Amino acid sequence: MARKKALHERTPPKEMARKLVRMLRPAHPDYYYLKKVFQHTRELLKVRPGKVEKRLPELLTDDELLLFYEAVWHARQPGHMVMLRLLIFTGVRNAELAGVRLKDVDLNSCQLRIEQGKGKKDRYVLFPKSFRGELAQYIGSQKEKGATHLFESNRFQPYSTRRIRQIIKQYAVEAGIEKRVYPHLFRHQIITYLTKRGIISPKLQLLSGHAEEKSLAIYRDMALSDVAGEYEEAMRAFPVR
């Protein structure tokens, strides 16, 4: 009861701010000075920042996923179809996808090398064996054009992250999907799917690149090949083919 009374009798925030202004005005504070003052104030009062609850974005349903990829298929843009399937199959980030070069694709092991991804460490991701033939055909056509990157414009420039966002938004509109659809959503989509299929956290971290410092020891005894079988099995039931 005493605690509730104390809270009730607190000086209103605006009034407290006026008192602080009168104290601080002679120091002619700038933004960075004030930032430091309040940082030290929080430390001295032992006030910890409140935890921000992270919520999973609204994912697409299986039907919406199929509608999206049907819209891509009807556009008859092979490069777009390969790009957007690779995006969801691998769960790579937008910038990572834009940076993939032809030489980064290993068709034999169905792996994609992500050079200097987030955290500045190279990693490998998997794609389904069922996708290998179509990807090989597309790579062949890109080599004939003299391309260096997997996805390039007509001017032989790698797609920008902005361009990839535009392409995704375009097909979402054509598919009649009202939810917000953007590159990182596909990453959430596949990670959620693989989790539901029973792939455990350490293996999922290896596939997605979600590696924290405390988890690095796990990877010393685990290779991507150890996860490949479970990934392949899970992808057989994935709605996008």
Does the pLDDT of residue 217 top 50, yes or no? Answer: no
| Beta strands 111-114 and 123-126, pairing class | antiparallel
- Please indicate, yes or no, whether the overall pTM of this predicted structure exceeds 0.75: no
Average pLDDT (82-101) is 94
Q: What percent of the chain has pLDDT over 70?
A: 83
- pLDDT value, residue 220: 41
Write the pLDDT tens digit of every residue in 27-68: 888 888 888 888 888 888 888 877 656 666 788 999 999 999
Domains of the chain, with CATH numbers? 13-54 (no CATH), 62-235 (1.10.443.10)
